[in-house]
Amino acid sequence: MSILILAIESSCDETAAAVCRDGKILSNIITGQKVHEQYGGVVPELASRAHIQNIVPVVERAMQDAGCMMQDMDAIAFTQSPGLIGSLLVGAQFAKSLALSINKPLIAVHHMQAHVLANLIEEPKPDFPFLCLTVSGGHTQIVLCESPIQMKVIGETIDDAAGEAFDKSAKMLGLPYPGGPLIDKYAQQGNPDRFQFPEPQIPGLDFSFNGLKTSILYFLQNTGKTNVYKEEFKVTEDEKKKFINDNLSDICASIQQRIITILLNKLKSAAKQTNINNICIAGGVSANSGLRKAFGETGNKYKWKTFIPKLEYCTDNAAMIAVAGYYKYLAGQFDDLSVSASARNTNYTN
Ligand code: KG4
Ligand code: ZN
């Protein structure tokens, strides 16, 4: 028997819907929200309103592309948490109404679990157990996956996420939001060894990016003379702008390289500790070309089998929610209509 799932993702500023049959993606529609550009970040209230406008056409297109009728669906999956509460509520309420109207089960999906499962969308797929470094705008985790529904977070950030480190660095450089993809772009022409940023010494498998942020702040205030605050090196705003302008590619490449080494050094420790050599990356930051390349090289060196989702499955999308919904369906993990969205990072591990 084939299982068809319609999935809805609305945790932040992308309205997305996808259909999968037996875990294979039939359609994957995503609509971004331009309205936030002028504000330099996502404005939650505007995001909720845009979701309300976008959700019907996005779901309709996902059904059309898949060549399916709503009545054919075996379940409706949606992102329950974490994210912006107003945004999540739009997707949750829409999914609940659909499930009720076609009298089919509802499946609440954790966004971070879905990011990990993006690695099961296409062949080749990792064998279990595998490790996944999930790097997004709000989270940075190393997850040990025993099965699609049995996951354990074995390391995570104690402050900013890797995506935030990219976005906040970009903001300090005067680049628009979200700055991660722009740092990636400029870094491709830059020298990653030109400027040195410190690597934090955090015990175990946890991450920290706060120190890097502070060191970039002082580095720019001091036009690269030092990474710590020194009054005598402090320059004017115009001098700072000129320094950034003249050295943008090298600065981006050096920042990106440090973020990548912080991530991969912890991943190496996790692989050693767990003795697992099937290793994946996931989340928006796994779209970063430098990280994809360095991850592949590290994998070759340590004889890992490495897996990276296709670009469209790295950043937020509904295909990953559909696949997560499929595995939850197989495990009989359904939710009743009283389930609510949650902004907080609810537990998806066991
Ligand atoms: O997974 P995602 O789309 O949304 C969340 O769940 O947060 O991740 C978004 C994050 C943002 O911080 C964005 O700047 C970052 O992923 N990102 C990148 C790249 N593409 C997206 N960071 C670095 N390089 C990229 N190419
Ligand atoms: Zn995400």
Query: Rounded to an integer, what distance in angstroms lies between the CA atom of residue 99 and that of residue 81?
Result: 18
Query: Rounded to an integer, what distance in angstroms lies between the CA atom of residue 65 and that of residue 302?
Result: 41
Nearest to 309 by CA among 324, 322, 320: 320
- Neighbouring C-beta atoms of residue 237, cutoff 10 Å: 8
* Closest residue CA from atom 20 of ligand 1: 181
Tens digit of pLDDT per residue, the chain (350 long)? 799 999 999 999 999 999 999 999 999 999 999 888 888 889 999 999 999 999 999 999 999 999 999 999 999 999 999 999 999 999 999 999 999 999 999 999 999 999 999 999 999 999 999 999 999 999 999 999 999 999 999 999 999 999 999 999 999 999 998 999 999 999 999 999 999 999 999 999 999 999 999 999 999 999 999 888 888 899 999 999 999 999 999 999 999 999 999 999 999 999 999 999 999 999 999 999 999 999 999 999 999 999 999 999 999 999 999 999 999 999 999 999 999 999 987 778 76
Q: Is the peptide bond before 176 cis (omega within 30 degrees of 0)?
A: no
63-81 exposure pattern, b = at least 16 Cβ within 10 A, e = fewer: bebbebeeebbbbbbbbbb
Q: Note if the pTM is more than 0.95.
A: yes
Test site for ligand 1: of 14, 112, 285, 310, most ligand atoms within 8 A of the Cβ: 285
Q: Decide: 135 and 180 in contact? Cβ < 8 Å.
A: no
What is the radius of gyration, based on Cα positions, of the chain?
21
Q: Ligand 2 center to residue 266 CA distance, Å?
A: 21
C-alpha to C-alpha distances, 26 to 17, 23, 62, 67, 236, nearest whole angstrom: 11, 9, 8, 8, 55
Residues whose beta carbon lies within 6 Å of some atom of ligand 1:
12, 136-138, 163, 166-167, 178, 180-181, 184, 283-285, 287-288, 315-316
